[in-house]
Amino acid sequence: NKENFVVSGIVKDLPNNTRFDFEYLLPWSYLESMNQSDSNWGNNSTKTYVMLKENAKFSSVEPKIKTLKQRYDEEAKKDKWEMFFYPMERWRLYSSFNNGKEDNGGRITFVKLFATIAAFILLIACINFMNLSTARSERRAKEVGIRKVVGARKLSLISQFIGESILISFLAAVFAIIIVWLSLPGYNNLTDKQLFIDFGSGITWLSILGFILFTGLLAGSYPAFFLSSFQPVKVLKGTFKKAHALVTPRKVLVVIQFSFAIILIICTIIVKQQIDYAQSRDNGYDKNNLVIHAMTGDLEKKYPLLKNELISAGIVTSMVKTNSPITEQWSDGWGQEWEGKDPNDKTDFYRYSADEGLGVTAGLQFVQGRDFDLKQFPTDTTGMIINESALKVMKFKEPLGKLVKDNGVQWHIVGVIKDFILTSPYTPTKPMLISGAQGWFNTMLIRLNTAGSTTQKLAAAEKIFKQYNPQYPFEYKFVDEEYAMKFQAEKRVGTLAALFAGLTVLISCLGLFGLAIFMAESRIREIGVRKVLGASVGGLVTLLSKDFLKLVSIAFLIAAPLAWWAMHSWLSDYSYRVEIQWWVFALAGLMSMLIALATVSFQAIRAALMNPVKSLRSE
């Protein structure tokens, strides 16, 4: 920006797991030379980093800086403001605070969320292994009986079965590593991250080995103890029978895994609702055909000529200088003065600056007054436009012409606009002060002419920009695309939640399908007898399916309140949020029942259609 600098050093590219992201560093003295000194204690636009000595203790140093601001700022002393340190090692994940206290917000929220979902999926897979292993117990009963007769102890049998489970877990891990490696580029593209697997790290392989052992022990422990408990006498005599209890571990495990699946289905639907709800909110301006360009090089000095030529060429219909993009908040502050202000008022106002034409360019809606117009009203250099939220704070009955002192300047109100979304679409609009031509301008807001091709308009605009600013590239952003970026985090959560929910349902259905196969095999003679006695195919399908549907119904009763609690907690972070509606739970319950029915009925119909002669031939 019109200054020459000397390269004094080159640093290595920073890793992806840091909050620092820069292409070059400038000395603070450069900002001081531009009258942006660091002597203002109310300046919230910068951060201060402190390197403690090696022998210094964090807990002993922090109390010494608590009252630092109070020593130099009368307002801070009056309100007893306190400063605090925060360790950099926690800053990337834990970056949300409330009154100086960490409130567990920030990126750690997403880490915990998806770690929990991953744990659920792993547990569901382990449950499937447990259920299928115990369902096949009759096939291995004679093996256990013979081993016990020839002297095998219970401990050796347990070790054998757990060893088999760990071996299966190891083979699964090999496939999992290949799948993760192949799918990682797609995942990084979806989440806008740069994750990678460090195969050269010993910690990576130790972690994988730990997961293999943990999964093998978790999945194999119950089947191992169950199978090793068989009595050899009963097994070898053929009198071994599994008890048909009302509540069995297998039924409990089916309920648990479907509870997880239903919770994820409900959460996915509500996350999608929340995103749609925020997207449907009126943003307060017309974001279509609106373009942002930075005020680089000589553009500010040549701005009147640039604006006139772009409009004369029919490329744009209007444009305006602003201090920041209309989709971002770069400045805020408190301490403004106005007539009738409550002495205890500490409202924090968003600050925005623009020259004439902001209203027509952005498509803002004026409730009272007018836009800036320096030609007709030269005093608009100290004009101010406020939004409806600011009017509520100031409590002016007749706001036009009222004076507001801010940053040492006496501004006069010329207009009141409807609230528009500057920052998050999930929070209420804050009070905003838009100052006139005395502001600091960093960007241009450009309204493209809708007649003709947008691509051709931008190509023509680039040629004109190059004439006035040849040393800088023509770099623009569409406002509608920038506004859509505000929903990216929630959209990613919704997409990942939907993928995980689908994976959870798929794994649960695979387990249910396997159980249905063994259920049909174990009741094959019963089905044959019932068919001989006149049972219909529909009646047999109902008989074989109803037990599973009962378990899914119980899972829904458990999952519904847990999902409501989880979503209520998540939505509480948003001031502008959707209401949780009953039909979401009804839809999730119906979906889970239909999925379970479709999974089980295939095998049930197959068993019901089997020729009873084959199953009763040996009787």
Is 470 part of any domain? yes
Domain boundary among 424, 451, 481: 481
How far is 548 from 593, CA to CA, in rounded Å?
A: 9
CB atoms within 10 A of CB 487: 18
Is 256 part of any domain? yes
pLDDT at 125: 86
Is 431 part of any domain? yes
Please provide residue 448's backbone torsions phi and psi, each rounded to the nearest 5 degrees. Answer: -75, 150
Contact 318, 307 (CB under 8 A): no
Whether residue 441 sits in one domain with residue 332: yes
Whether residue 464 sits in one domain with residue 329: yes
448: pLDDT strictly greater than 90: yes
Domain boundary among 427, 455, 481: 481
Whether residue 400 sits in one domain with residue 297: yes
Residue 431: DSSP 8-state: P
Contact 468, 306 (CB under 8 A): yes
pLDDT at 446: 95
Q: 462-482 in b/e burial notation, b at 16+ Cβ within 10 A?
A: eebbeebbeeeeeebbbbeeb
Whether residue 565 sits in one domain with residue 589: yes
Give the H or E element holding residue 139.
Answer: helix 137-149
Q: Which of 470, 444, 453, 467 is nearest to 309 (CA)?
A: 467
**Entry pTM:** 0.74
Whether residue 157 sits in one domain with residue 66: no
How far is 489 from 255, CA to CA, in rounded Å?
A: 32
Spatial neighbors of 440 by CB under 8 A, at least 6 apart, are: 323, 353
Whether residue 274 sits in one domain with residue 354: no
Is 119 part of any domain? no
Whether residue 574 sits in one domain with residue 496: yes
How far is 255 from 271, CA to CA, in rounded Å?
A: 24
Domain that holds residue 412: 290-481
Mean pLDDT value of segment 589-618: 78
Q: How many residues does the chain have?
A: 619
Domain boundary among 242, 265, 300: 242
Contact 422, 387 (CB under 8 A): no
How far is 453 from 20, CA to CA, in rounded Å?
A: 39
For 476-503, give the DSSP string: EEEHHHHHHGGGHHHHHHHHHHHHHHHH
pLDDT at 91: 74
Confidence at 39, pLDDT banded by 50, 70, 90: low
Is 114 part of any domain? no
Measuring CA to CA, how many Å separate 13 from each of 10, 16, 18?
9, 9, 11
Whether residue 206 sits in one domain with residue 61: no
Mean pLDDT value of segment 13-31: 81
Total of domains in the chain: 4
Whether residue 221 sits in one domain with residue 92: no
How far is 52 from 516, CA to CA, in rounded Å?
A: 64
Helices (H) and strands (E) in the chain, counts: 21, 14
Is 312 part of any domain? yes
Least confident span in 2-6, 275-279, 451-455, 520-524: 520-524
* 295-298, long-range: CB < 8 A, 24+ apart: 295/321, 295/441, 295/442, 295/443, 295/444, 296/1, 296/469, 296/472, 297/1, 297/2, 297/469, 297/471, 297/472, 298/2, 298/468, 298/469
Q: What angle do CA 442, 401, 351 make, to 5 degrees?
A: 25
Tokens representing residue 353 in the block:
């600056």
Spatial neighbors of 140 by CB under 8 A, at least 6 apart, are: 227
Bigger pLDDT: 163 or 522?
163
pLDDT at 314: 93
pLDDT at 98: 60
Is 411 part of any domain? yes
Task: Give me the percent of the chain exceeding a pLDDT of 70.
Answer: 90
Whether residue 431 sits in one domain with residue 322: yes
Whether residue 170 sits in one domain with residue 53: no
Is 22 part of any domain? no
Whether residue 472 sits in one domain with residue 373: yes
What confidence tens digit (pLDDT) does each residue in 183-192 have? Answer: 888 888 887 7
Least confident span in 122-136, 350-364, 391-405: 122-136
